[in-house]
Amino acid sequence: MSLLIEADREEGYAGWHDVFRQVMPTMDIHWWNDPQVDPQDVEYVFCFDPEPGRLATFPNVRLICAASVGVERIVRDPSWSRSIPLVRMGCQETTAQMADYVAWACLSAHRNLPRILQARVSGQWDKFTPAAVVADRRVGILGMGSLGGAAAEMLTKVGFKTAGWSRTRKSIPGVESFAGPDELDALLRQSDIVVCLMPGTPDTMGILNAERLELLPSGASIINVARSGHVVMPDLIAALESGRLSCAILDVFDKEPLPADSFLWKHPGVLVTSHLASTASQRSRAQYASDIIAAFERGEELPNRYDPEHGY
């Protein structure tokens, strides 16, 4: 069996080679741009952002393992055969880190951390009273896949009143479930904090626009750890500046790294984090890919398999 690993440079590949060798000692492992590799021999690919058309040069690929949860950069390649299974990254470390981040972000929004940090910068003694205690705060999660479900479970442990919205109804103890387009507005109307964890599809881009932000309770907060395009940025800023929203915590952006001169760095109602909500180690991701390949070899159903019909 032969596994091809995408990496920009051979030096970057070295770290991946080492961890994959540890978890798959019998696998024939090669760098993406190794001139010695016979394209006919490649059966498995581990990648994040393959250049368009490259996947089609390996005619015998049987399975593609994504190095990240998001697979937009893989599926945008029109030469990728949809008959080849594509599995999104889903290691436990990825899920646990996201749940940790969401819990931190919700507590930060709850106590208005951006306002506290603004007072620190200005040297202002800004003593204000929290609007509520955690038990009275309602969090609505948009997207209840593996990451959203783990985040919801964590938030219930913290004490938030938690609800989730997804394409199909979910059953998670202590979490109210909303499903389908007809129930989205109802979730938003009751959410003091909205956490965006949806996949990036044509149906979800721009979903948090002015009309939907207006549905939120006054003083609500937005946390986006999914795709920047889910939130219409001018509408978000207008809602912050009008006082309709109290704060936004953003981990994803149209352009990354976020330029140093972006107004978002200095906006008093915005807290920027550098796309770090979930950054699993190479070892954890390699182990997950190894487990997926082993399951595929045994003919088992694959978790986190990309569904072209639904776009995630």
> Which residues are known catalytic residues?
227, 275
Q: Assess contact for 165 and 35: CB atoms under 8 A.
A: no
* Residue-wise burial string across 53-74, b where 16 or more C-beta atoms lie within 10 A, e elsewhere: ebbeebeebebbbbbbbbbeeb
The number of C-alpha atoms within 13 Å of 288 and in the hemisphere containing its C-beta is 25
CA distance 118 to 116: 5
**Residues facing 249 on adjacent strands:** 223, 271
Query: Cα-atom radius of gyration of the chain, to the nearest Å?
Result: 21
One-letter identity of residue 27: M
Residue with tokens 């129930």: 183
CA distance 221 to 216: 9
According to DSSP, residue 275 is labeled S
Q: Assess contact for 95 and 151: CB atoms under 8 A.
A: no
Residue with tokens 């059953």: 171
Element (H, E) at 178: strand 175-179
Query: Three-state secondary structure along 179-232?
Result: ECHHHHHHHHHCCCEEEECCCCCCCCCCCECHHHHCCCCCCEEEEECCCHHHEC
Among 145, 180, 140, which residue's Cα sits nearest to residue 163? Answer: 140
